[in-house]
Amino acid sequence: LFLARCTSDSSGEADATIWTSYGDSISDVSNSIPATEAANILETGELAIGLFEAEIVQSCMTMGCWMSVKGPQGDPVMVFMKDHAFFVPKDSVQGKRALFSGEAYYDTLSVEFQKHLLEDAGADQAVIDAVSEPVFELAFEASGVQIADVPEGAPMAGE
């Protein structure tokens, strides 16, 4: 599915963004929350559920079953595709704007799972071997994702 949204900037020129959808459809993109605000919402004791927006840092190079986005201090924060029900491109989306519907939460990532994620990301073996402690960090589970201006032919799972 492709969706186009046109907006005007202060100079009056139209900005046509081509959105590519993955997973559940996202019908209303007008009330997105910067992903960097999710930690603040969780700190208040409220659930952080809704439509989040962030810049993609990387996606899983094996299947596209996760992506990392810029978090609160510019650090990468994981976005996992709910139930592995859909995938995003394995490459070519770094630096692209993403909207994703779902929930933010804190979770402990085991040493084994961190190493698995690093393998999926194509990290050097020395980086993988250096992981020795579980980490407690912010993450998201997405039921639907839209990515702005995905290049034609971006590699998907199975390619």
For 82, phi and psi rounded to 5 degrees?
-55, 125
Examine the pLDDT at 6 and tell me if it is beyond 60: no
How many whole angstroms separate alpha carbon 15 and alpha carbon 53?
A: 18
pTM for this structure? Answer: 0.86
What torsion, rounded to 10 degrees, do the Cα atoms 57, 127, 132, 111 define?
50
Percent of the chain exceeding pLDDT 70 equals 91
For the chain, the average pLDDT equals 89
Q: What pLDDT, in 10s, does the model give residues 109-120?
A: 999 999 999 999
> What's the maximum distance between 2 C-alpha atoms anywhere in the chain?
53
Average pLDDT over residues 20-35: 93
- Contact call for residues 118 and 127 (beta carbons, < 8 A): yes
Examine the pLDDT at 71 and tell me if it is beyond 70: yes
Average pLDDT over residues 99-103: 97
For 77, phi and psi rounded to 5 degrees?
-125, 135
State the pLDDT at residue 74.
87
State the pLDDT at residue 83.
96
Which is more confident, 7 or 15?
A: 15
Average pLDDT over residues 112-132: 95
- Contact call for residues 68 and 139 (beta carbons, < 8 A): no
State the pLDDT at residue 17.
87
Examine the pLDDT at 15 and tell me if it is beyond 90: no
Instruction: Name the DSSP class of 84.
Output: G
